[in-house]
């Protein structure tokens, strides 16, 4: 491991100013990233893209030649968790290298510039590089009351999103909020929050949901664009298939326990200590598409299920509403109290029906009915 | 007891009886295994066991059998005899059907002592069966949509794409549970009604589902 962690803000801004004509590998060399680390990075990102290892040299070759694309990162109605996930990653990582690869011209959290100066930098980038820059949007876009619930520099988030995403080569909606509205959009959604694609339907949007989004998937998405010059294949919810093409349940390290029939019954029981399946604790892995089990978080060391917590389905649209209750496998039945599960209601229904027919049967048995053919009516 | 001679009539053809009993068996198996999938019990003693794996396999095999049987019954509605015909399922669309329906409702609500005589399906039952088939369709669609998520991008996943764009997987799971209970409600009703009409009509209502023959005062309908 050769590079060391540096202060992102000033350094990145400095790199942006001077090195626009250098290729990525030259920049990395200047930054002290060894060729070996660069190739390691290429292998990692090839794996993240679910490409065969034979693609790693192509990725390296492409990144050797490609110029740094400008990138603007806008923070809307969100918690900055995705920026944090990217920046807090320890050691020289894929995530750090990506910040070197990209020319981050605007990022509210990490840039040195402030106020009108910063807004001017954003305007310059989106004008000078129209159709060439990447836009990364973090956080949802409030639509209610003309979008007044989210304003930066006197412009509503919606206004800015239309302007920035409209002229971008591609927009990456990072995190569940930017992808589908996320937690701000949870019922009753007081600000009318929506995801980027819904707010700016004309834009080319790649959704990278997750709470937070895995920084490796962001890197891989950008590298895919740089290598193949097109956005990766997306699923029905606008997510790249390489990262969201498989269910958590099907790649889960605890899946053998599920198939065997070994379940955690309550927190801290023997099964929980032994790492059994969390299905009965409300795990949403069977309903969630994400590469968490293989890609993991925090330098591939940990992820929720690996740490003994059920999946909450954070990468799925409207997860806060549709995946609740968090610790129950089934949603509540709308219109009934939270202590009524679908099966309790069903049992009541069946018991009610049986009771009604017992009464009807008793009444029918006591009646003397006229059998067909017993009188002249039928004949 | 009537002293009128009853006529033996072949009503339920062999394929129809097969569809009926395959459905019965499949629903019993699907409910049992489905219950264990929804509320699993710790059956495995080592991670090499495959208790849930087998339970799910049985559920899926029964699901395929059920789907084929239901689909065949729908096809049979266009091939089979007049009692199996799709026309029998929409009594509301003929004056005769409406009259019989009214009589049946009056009998079930204890407003008349005259037991209606019906050779094939009774019109109230077919109305219920139509709703039941819609529930079956919902169960088949939600079931296979959840099943197909193991192979996203596969043929089944792609052909059920409309399900994923309209419903969430959790919503489908809930509907699949509630659908089972609705079918249970139907089964209770169905068995009761068959028993009631068997003892009131003396037409061999229950045995007809095994033999195919019913006994009626008049020939035909």
Q: What is the pLDDT of residues A278-330, one digit of tens each?
A: 999 999 999 999 999 998 887 788 999 999 999 999 999 999 999 989 999 99
Beta bridge pairs of residue A126: none
Helix (H, G, I), strand (E, B) or coil at B114: strand
Q: Label the pairing between strands A134-138 and A103-107.
A: unpaired
CA distance A50 to chain B (A): 15
The pLDDT score that the predictor gives to residue A250 is 95
| H or E stretch at A103 | strand A103-107
Is the residue at B100 inside a domain?
yes
Is the residue at B56 inside a domain?
yes
- State the best of A253, A346, A361, A379 to mutate against chain B, taking most chain B CBs within 10 Å: A346
Domain hosting B138: range is 7-216
> Which pair of tokens denotes residue A284?
């949403």
Angle at B98 between CA B96 and CA B104, to 5 degrees: 105
Which of B39, B52, B115 is facing A372, going by the closest CB pair?
B115
Whether residue A88 is predicted with pLDDT greater than 90 in this model: the reply is no
- Residue B171's CATH number: 1.20.950.20
Residue B58 CA: distances (Å) to CA of A255, B53, B63: 19, 9, 8
Mean pLDDT of chain A: 85
CB A133 within 8 A of CB A168: yes
- Alpha helices by DSSP H, listed for A145-291, are 157-166, 175-180, 196-199, 215-228, 241-244, 248-251, 255-260, 270-274
Is the residue at B164 inside a domain?
yes
Is the residue at B88 inside a domain?
yes
Q: How far apart are CA A376 and CA A372, in angstroms?
A: 9
CA distance A189 to chain B (A): 19
Residue range A346-362: average pLDDT?
89
- Kindly determine whether residue B196 and residue A287, on different chains, have CB atoms separated by under 8 Å: no
Characterize A332-358 residue by residue with b for buried, 16 or more Cβ atoms within 10 angstroms of its Cβ, and e for exposed.
Answer: bbeeeeeeebbbebbeebbeebeeebe
Is the residue at B114 inside a domain?
yes
ipTM confidence score: 0.89
CB A167 within 8 A of CB A191: no
A319 touches chain B (CB under 8 A): no
Helix (H, G, I), strand (E, B) or coil at A203: coil
- Kindly determine whether residue A256 and residue B47, on different chains, have CB atoms separated by under 8 Å: yes
- Kindly determine whether residue B110 and residue A367, on different chains, have CB atoms separated by under 8 Å: yes
Whether residue A12 is predicted with pLDDT greater than 60 in this model: the reply is no
Residue of A nearest to B55 (CA): A259
Residues 7-66 on B with a CB inside 8 Å of A are: 38-44, 46-53, 55
Tens of pLDDT along chain B (221 residues) come to: 556 778 888 999 999 999 999 999 999 999 999 999 999 998 888 889 999 999 999 999 999 999 999 999 999 999 999 889 998 898 888 888 888 889 888 888 888 888 887 888 888 899 999 999 999 999 999 999 999 999 998 999 999 999 999 999 999 999 999 999 999 999 999 999 999 888 888 888 899 999 999 988 876 54
Instruction: Write out chain B residues lying below 8 Å of A245, CB-based.
Output: 152-153
- Kindly determine whether residue B200 and residue A369, on different chains, have CB atoms separated by under 8 Å: yes
CB A336 within 8 A of CB A348: no
Q: How far apart are CA A74 and CA A126, in angstroms?
A: 12
Tally of CB atoms within 10 A around B209: 17
Whether residue A50 is predicted with pLDDT greater than 80 in this model: the reply is yes
The pLDDT score that the predictor gives to residue A99 is 66
Is the residue at B2 inside a domain?
no
Q: How far apart are CA A347 and CA A338, in angstroms?
A: 16
Residues 224-283 on A with a CB inside 8 Å of B are: 235-236, 241, 245-247, 250, 256-263, 265, 271, 276, 279-280
Domain count, chain B: 1
Give residue A95's pLDDT band: very low, low, confident or very high (50, 70, 90): low
Which of B49, B173, B196 is facing A361, going by the closest CB pair?
B196
Which of B2, B42, B180 is facing A374, going by the closest CB pair?
B2
CB A182 within 8 A of CB A175: yes
CA distance B68 to chain A (A): 26
- Residue B188: partners with Cβ closer than 8 Å, 6 or more residues away: A350, A353, A354, A357
Is the residue at B27 inside a domain?
yes
Is the residue at B40 inside a domain?
yes
> Which pair of tokens denotes residue A302?
């940990």
């Amino acid at each position: 491991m050769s590079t060391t962690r540096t202060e992102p803000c000033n350094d990145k801004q400095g790199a942006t100013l001077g090195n626009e004509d250098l290729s990525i590998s030259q920049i990395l060399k200047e930054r002290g990233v060894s060729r070996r680390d660069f190739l390691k990075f290429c292998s990692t990102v090839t794996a993240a893209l679910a490409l065969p290892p034979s693609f790693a040299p192509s990725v390296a070759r492409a990144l050797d030649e490609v110029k740094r694309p400008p990138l603007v990162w806008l923070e809307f109605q969100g918690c900055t968790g995705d920026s944090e996930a990217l920046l807090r990653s320890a050691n020289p990582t894929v995530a750090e290298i990506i910040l070197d690869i990209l020319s981050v011209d605007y990022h509210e959290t990490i840039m040195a510039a402030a106020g009108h100066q910063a807004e001017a930098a954003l305007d310059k980038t989106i004008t000078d590089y129209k159709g060439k820059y990447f836009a990364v949007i973090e956080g949802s876009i409030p639509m209610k009351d003309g979008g007044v619930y989210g304003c930066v520099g006197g412009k509503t988030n919606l206004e800015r999103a239309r302007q920035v995403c409209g002229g971008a080569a591609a927009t990456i909606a990072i995190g569940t909020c930017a992808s589908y509205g996320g937690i701000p959009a949870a019922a009753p959604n007081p600000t009318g929050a929506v995801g980027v694609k819904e707010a700016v339907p004309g834009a080319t949007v790649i959704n990278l949901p997750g709470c937070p989004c895995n920084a490796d998937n962001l890197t891989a998405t950008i590298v895919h664009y740089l290598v193949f010059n097109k956005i990766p294949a997306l699923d029905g919810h606008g997510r790249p298939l390489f990262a969201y093409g498989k269910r958590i349940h099907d790649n889960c390290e605890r899946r053998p326990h599920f198939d065997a029939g070994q379940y955690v019954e309550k927190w801290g029981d023997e099964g929980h200590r032994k790492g059994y399946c969390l299905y009965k604790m409300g795990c949403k892995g069977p309903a969630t598409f994400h590469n968490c089990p293989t890609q993991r978080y925090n330098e591939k060391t940990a992820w929720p299920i690996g740490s003994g917590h059920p999946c909450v389905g954070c990468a799925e649209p409207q997860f806060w509403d549709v995946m609740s209750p968090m610790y129950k496998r089934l949603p509540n039945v709308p219109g009934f109290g939270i202590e009524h599960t679908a099966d309790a209601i069903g049992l009541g229904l069946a018991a009610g029906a049986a009771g009604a027919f017992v009464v009807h049967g008793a009444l029918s048995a006591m009646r003397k009915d006229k059998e067909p053919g017993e009188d002249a009516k039928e004949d | 007891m009537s002293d009128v001679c009853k006529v033996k009539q072949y009503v339920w053809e062999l394929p129809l009886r097969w569809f009926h009993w395959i459905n019965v068996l499949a629903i019993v198996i699907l409910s049992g295994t489905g219950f264990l999938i929804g509320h699993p019990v710790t059956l495995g003693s080592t991670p090499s066991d495959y208790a849930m794996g087998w339970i799910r396999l049985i559920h899926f095999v029964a699901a395929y059998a059920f789907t084929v049987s239901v689909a065949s019954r729908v096809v049979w509605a266009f091939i089979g005899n007049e009692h199996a015909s799709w026309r029998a399922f929409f009594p509301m669309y003929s004056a005769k059907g409406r009259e019989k329906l009214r009589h049946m409702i009056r009998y079930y609500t204890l407003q008349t002592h005259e037991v209606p005589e019906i050779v094939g399906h009774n019109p109230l039952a077919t109305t219920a069966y139509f709703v039941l088939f819609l529930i079956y369709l919902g169960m088949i669609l939600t079931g296979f949509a959840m099943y197909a998520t193991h192979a996203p991008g596969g043929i089944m996943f792609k052909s059920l794409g409309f399900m994923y764009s309209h419903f969430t997987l959790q919503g489908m799971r809930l509907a699949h549970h509630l659908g089972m209970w609705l079918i249970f409600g139907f089964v209770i009703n169905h068995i009761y009604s068959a028993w009631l009409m068997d003892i009131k009509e003396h037409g061999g209502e229950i045995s007809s589902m095994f033999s195919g023959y019913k006994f009626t005062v008049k020939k035909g309908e």
